[in-house]
């Protein structure tokens, strides 16, 4: 058995070897990327918040959102707080991370 902090390699037989490692991200291979928000949503929320809401079609951390939107990580929590106060997004803890996600009301505003 060979291993390091995050990878475990175990040889069971001469033809069977098991390699275990933690998965990175949450299915990033299947995300299509962030599409631009509709003009109606932009007029209602403003471009930064509308883009943030659109990006949250897939749950994400503040760091992931900042990276996806090309903004500083310090700008994201301010907009998330306003969206959360108005029932458009919610948050849940996943281990040491806090994930933000769109609520049913937010999804309805985005048009489904």
Mind listing the pLDDT tens digit for each residue in 36-84? 888 989 999 999 999 999 999 889 999 999 998 989 989 999 999 999 9
Give residue 51's domain range. 37-112
What confidence tens digit (pLDDT) does each residue in 7-39 have?
Answer: 667 777 777 777 766 655 544 444 445 678 889
pLDDT at 48: 92
What is the tally of structural domains in the chain? 1
pLDDT at 101: 92
Residue 101 in domain: yes
CATH number for the domain that contains residue 107? 1.10.10.10
Please report, to the nearest 10 degrees, the dihedral formed by the alpha carbons of residues 18, 23, 29, 35 taken in order: 180
Residue 102 in domain: yes
pLDDT at 87: 95
Global pTM value: 0.67
Residue 69 in domain: yes
Over range 86-106, report the average pLDDT.
Answer: 91
Please report, to the nearest 10 degrees, the dihedral formed by the alpha carbons of residues 52, 45, 88, 72 taken in order: 30
Residue 99 in domain: yes
Residue 77 in domain: yes
Q: How does DSSP classify residue 2?
A: E
Other residues' Cβ atoms within 10 Å of the Cβ of residue 36: 11
Residue 110 in domain: yes
Residue 18 in domain: no
| Residue 4 binned pLDDT confidence (cut-offs 50, 70, 90) | low
Which carries the bigger pLDDT value, residue 4 or residue 55? 55
Residue 13 in domain: no
């Amino acid at each position: 058995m060979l291993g390091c902090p995050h990878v475990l390699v175990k040889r069971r037989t001469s033809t069977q070897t098991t390699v275990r490692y933690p998965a990175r991200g949450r299915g990033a291979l299947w995300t299509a990327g962030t599409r631009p928000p509709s003009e109606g949503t932009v007029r209602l929320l403003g471009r930064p918040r509308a883009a943030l809401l659109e990006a949250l079609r897939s749950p994400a951390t503040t760091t992931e959102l900042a990276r996806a939107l090309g903004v500083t990580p310090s700008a994201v929590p301010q907009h998330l707080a306003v969206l959360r106060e108005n029932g458009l997004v919610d948050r849940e803890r996943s281990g040491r991370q806090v994930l933000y996600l769109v609520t049913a009301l937010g999804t309805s505003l985005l048009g489904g």
